[in-house]
Amino acid sequence: MSDVRPMGLFDIDSANYGTQQGNNAVEGRSIHSNNVPNETDLRISEEEMLRHYPTRDEKIYKLLEVARTIAPTKVPILITGESGTGKETFAKAIHIAGGRERGRFVVANSSNIPANFFEMELFPAQRNPHEYNQNHNNRPQETCSLMLDEVTELEASMQLKLLRILKEQDVNKGAIRRGTAADARIIACSNKNIQDEVNAQRFRNDLFFKLHVIHLEIPALRQRLVDIDFYSEIFLREFNIQFSKNVQLSPTAKQALRTYTWPGNIRELRNVIQRSVLLSTRDYIGVEELHLMRANSRTEVAMGEPLPQVTLRELEQRLILQTLRRMNGNRTHTAKALGISLRALRYKLNELVDCGYEVEGKNI
């Protein structure tokens, strides 16, 4: 498997860079070095971890800290989250944090893995030694990280093989030969509820518990309002440079991005910003240039059907209270979601208290 460049910052739906095997089932992404990895390497810094999975969201900070803590070990990791939340990017960050950046980061599409994948495709050290040395310049056998994308799609025979590898890791531990299947760090990813797949007898219960040692669930983008603003600015800078433009998001466009439900998560946001910058004929992007689906507006979903005999003021009050509850009482996030200042929100909340409403929340 040939050397390829590492995955980019938000390279979620990028082209396949490595030599593809088994009908695009396997993608190898390698960062090689002539030095054997030092098993005593310390964890990378928090700042370095954030460079590989940037965020401003407190929930993601906590996940990254857990990942940074367990990265130097070979404990199996299960990463779940909706499509487009960056599970592969997160797995890559764990690989690098574990000191395996000088080995290989291998991504396998679980629905299309060849029958001899573990024996031949993933671990070339098990091939003919003469062929391996010729093609890999006598590199030492490497510890790699294997990301199994959509792990619930593994066929029954492959589930059994993976289970045996994990059992061997438990039994032999330090006695495992480098470059073998049992030497790999296993990172399983899925956008499904794996417990539901187990209950439906489509996924082995014993394999589920082997993979479930560390479970990291990445929240959807609609649950990370601060990251919507953060990523929007990142992508805006990226595509302004790419298309030699200097456009900005209008205040109404920013508000529209915050209230959209983002079924495609970060991947969809990136595509929306890319399209908007490319097609913009002005120095700013308005709501109409975003081309967001109206049915996915959080405001419309929250309000439901039109309410009869309700004043505009009452509608505003209901929207404020609904948004405050959705933000778990966080007034800063509520103000951002509503597109108003924190001072204006405080004023409106005081009005609600005067009208007899109970208002709770953290003033942060």
> For the segment 30-65, what is each residue's pLDDT rounded down to a tens digit?
333 333 344 434 566 778 888 889 999 999 999 999
Q: For the full predicted model, state whether its pTM sits above 0.75.
A: no
The domains spanning 225-290 and 312-355 adopt the same CATH topology: no
The reported pLDDT for the residue numbered 180 is: 58
The reported pLDDT for the residue numbered 102 is: 60
The reported pLDDT for the residue numbered 357 is: 74
CA distance 75 to 184: 10
Rounded-to-10 torsion of CA 80, 56, 320, 304: -30
User: What's the per-residue H, E or C state across the chain?
Assistant: CCCCCCCCCCCCCCCCCCCCECCCCEEEEECCCCCCCCCCCCCCCHHHHHHHCCCCCHHHHHHHHHHHHHCCCCCCEEEECCCCCCHHHHHHHHHHHCCCCCCEEEEEEHHHCCCCHHHHHCCHHHCCHHHHHHHHCCCCCCCCEEEEECHHHCCHHHHHHHHHHHHHHHHHHHHCCCCCHHHCEEEEEECCCHHHHHHCCCCCHHHHHHHCCEEEECCCHHHCHHHHHHHHHHHHHHHHHHCCCCCEECHHHHHHHHHECCCCHHHHHHHHHHHHHHHCCCCEECHHHHCCCHHHEHHHHHHCCCCCCCCHHHHHHHHHHHHHHHCCCEHHHHHHHHCCCHHHHHHHHHHHHHCCCCCCCECC
What are the pLDDT digits (tens) for 72-118? 888 999 999 999 999 999 999 999 888 765 678 889 999 888 888 87
151 vs 177, more confident: 151
The CATH class of 225-290 is mainly alpha
Of the pLDDT bands very low, low, confident and very high (cuts 50, 70, 90), residue 226 is very high
- Smallest CA-to-CA distance from 152 within 89, 91, 80, 214 is with 80
Rounded-to-10 torsion of CA 353, 356, 361, 364: -10
Domain boundaries, the chain: 39-123+142-219, 225-290, 312-355
The reported pLDDT for the residue numbered 21 is: 36
The reported pLDDT for the residue numbered 338 is: 83
Mean pLDDT across the chain, nearest whole number? Answer: 77
42 vs 158, more confident: 158
CA distance 160 to 206: 10
Amino acid (1-letter code) at residue 115: A
Please write down the long-range contacts of 339-348, taking CB distance under 8 Å and 24 or more positions apart: 339/251, 339/254, 339/255, 339/258, 345/320, 348/316, 348/317, 348/320
Mean pLDDT of 116-141: 52
Architecture in CATH of 312-355: Orthogonal Bundle (1.10)
Kindly report the number of other CB atoms within 10 A of residue 249's CB atom. 23
Does 120 score more than 50 pLDDT? yes
298 vs 343, more confident: 343
Task: Please give the structure tokens belonging to residue 116.
Answer: 């001899």
Does 276 score more than 90 pLDDT? yes
Does 330 score more than 60 pLDDT? yes
CA distance 236 to 270: 9
Does 128 score more than 70 pLDDT? no
The reported pLDDT for the residue numbered 33 is: 34
**330 near 362, Cβ under 8 Å?**
yes
Task: Please give the structure tokens belonging to residue 259.
Answer: 């209230």
User: Which residues on neighbouring strands pair with residue 341, listed in sequence order?
Assistant: none
Task: Please give the structure tokens belonging to residue 359.
Answer: 């208002």
Q: Is the dihedral of CA 199, 205, 209, 215 positive or negative?
A: negative
Of 38-42, 70-74, 192-196, 263-267, the range with the lowest mean pLDDT is 38-42
φ/ψ (deg, to 5) at 7: -70, 145
The CATH class of 39-123+142-219 is alpha beta
CA distance 257 to 269: 8
**198 near 205, Cβ under 8 Å?**
yes
123 φ/ψ sector (left φ>0, alpha ψ -120 to 50, else beta): beta
**β-pairing verdict for 104-109 and 26-30:** antiparallel
Length of the chain: 364
**β-pairing verdict for 214-217 and 145-149:** unpaired
